[in-house]
Chain A
């Protein structure tokens, strides 16, 4: 029925319910992964993924074609960062340790490396969430959503050079923040 992204995008722009159902079935894993990478909690990621699709459904009128996956990724990143910000300060960007370990699919390894990986993940989530806009959005879309720079440029409506510069500066700020972190 919808053989490619273009036809799916056209159907979505026409508020086709069948097209939206297909989009949900196709992109749920992708959206959930983005939410989990930003929030670090399975439960919160599930809620954020549901809310992402709800927001997308309501904002179908604003979808003007393009890559529906990138469009969803942006909504998911925004919603996840909003939820991360809304957390209480005590729980800010911290995850129950076992939640992160269970959700991370790894090969059979020693528990110490899993704990270290979970700790590292928590650090990454926190420093990315502390980045100012627009660096945070570009970094999240690039690394957490696996979008290409051209996709980000098309999605955000910025020139490709601007997106590159923002990514560079965002990574530079990230590096500085990591340097300031106590090891």
Chain B
């Protein structure tokens, strides 16, 4: 072994322009190393040999698990790298290679499973976020006075002739009407939903469209004109005779 001051230190021994000489640092290092002639504690080699003998195989999955348990990402990645290398190393014992292969396969499968689960969980959420009209319609459907029904969502390709066009700002109210009005037919809800989706597709055109009269109001007007109202028969309001002002007609007096 060569002396620590030989070799590449020649460049460092040039005189410095200011401050410490260039050879001050090497001199300090040499003084330090020459003064630190320490001996290891007795029995250290035997302890190391004992520890190595009883150590698990180099690509043992326990190393990887212990790194994961300590949340040591870098260490875990290094263990995985060791295992990958051990698989490819033909000099490694068969057991070691099998262990390494099992570890890499388990980690790969676990990573894939986590990825698929994440995609399945997050995918619909992202889809919902990307379709705000559908979400709002859902909110309206589950509003007060509405019972959950397994009515399928209308297809965007379905004909839109049965529903009036609803402008963009009226979407929330339309959904409220769909849920809270006296018209509870599933077909009507579907038609409103479809109209909402249509309004999302062409907002510029529908913004100019005058807001149509709601279905319930239309029916009320029609009943006023005909002198009848279509209420809930359960409350005894069906076909109650009304006058032209919409008030109930007084019953004829008995004579």
Contacts and interface: CB of A to CB of B under 8 A. Distances in A.
Interface string B75-109: 00000001001100101110000000000000000
B58 A117 contact: no
Contacts of A29: 39-40
A28 interface: yes
Given A33-B36, A175-B19, A175-B25, A13 B91 contact: yes
A170 B25 CA distance: 10
A183 B107 CA distance: 55
The size bracket of the interface on B is 35 or more
A142 interface: yes
A103 B40 CA distance: 9
Interface in A124-183: 124, 128, 139, 142-144, 146-149, 163-164, 167-168, 171-172, 174-176, 178-179
B103 to A, nearest CB: 14
Interface stretch (B6-14, B133-141, B144-152, B209-217): B6-14
A57 B47 CA distance: 14
Contacts of B93: 15
Interface residues of A, number: 54
Contact of A167 (B8, B55, B63): B8
Interface of A: 13-15, 20-21, 24-25, 28-29, 32-33, 36-37, 42, 45-46, 49-50, 53-54, 57-62, 103-106, 117, 120-121, 124, 128, 139, 142-144, 146-149, 163-164, 167-168, 171-172, 174-176, 178-179
Interface of B: 1-2, 4, 7-9, 11-12, 16, 19-20, 22, 24-26, 28-33, 35-41, 44-45, 47-49, 51-52, 55, 58, 63, 82, 85-86, 89, 91-93
